[in-house]
Structure 1
Amino acid sequence: MSDNNSVVWHRDAKGARKRNVRIETIGNTFLFFENQWRSEAYHFGDLVYRGLTGGAHVFGLDDGIKARPHWQLGFTGDPPAELRGALPKYTPPMLSGVGMLIIAFLCLGIVYFGSPHIWV
């Protein structure tokens, strides 16, 4: 991978340490490389978009393994062009935090004004 605008990092489920890594792709799988360390192979189909955190696009594993809930792959900046087709699409949330707050107040208003104690 060669993209000067993006820093690729990985955080596994074992520790909180963020590693700057290099990604190598083999078909529909990828591996991380860092110095003398190499990860196991992961499938692009197992990745889910977790959102934008601290200016980084963060992906997680959705492979059904409960022991790895904190596994993360992040791209500070835009992901490299070679990976954009293989990564899951960025789906913005349907409702932002402000939208959820408005819905919550509307529901509270409906319950409050619809309750019988108001009309007695």
Structure 2
Amino acid sequence: MSETNDSLAEEKELLKSVENAPASKKISTYAKLSGPGWLQGAITLGGGSLGGSLYLGIIGGTELLWLQPLMMIFGILMLSVIGYVTLSTGKKPFQAINEHINPVLGWGWLIAAMLANLVWAMPQFSL
């Protein structure tokens, strides 16, 4: 646990050092500290997402245009909640949700994530 505290202290020090730096230096530092978020964004937003959005537009026309931004907000909210629980407990997300919130929610999240990967991520492999 002391390694975690040391790396956290280093990150805090790094953030303080760029507090009054120019915007380009801040952006560079924030990007460096953002970790695998860039990769996750690239995986989840690809050609399959574009194809799915276009197909939804063909089926529902402009009446379903509100659905895509709403799902993005739900996705951000879900990742934020999972991140908060994980960082607060120091445990893996599935374990933390099952122990500290509700096992039904933990298993539901796991099943929903697997189904979402099948429905939305698999079409990207055909590109």
What range is the shorter-chain TM-score in? under 0.3
TM-score for the superposition, normalised by structure 2:
0.24
Of Structure 1 and Structure 2, which has the larger fraction of its residues in strand? 1
TM-score for the superposition, normalised by structure 1:
0.25
Of Structure 1 and Structure 2, which has the larger fraction of its residues in helix? 2
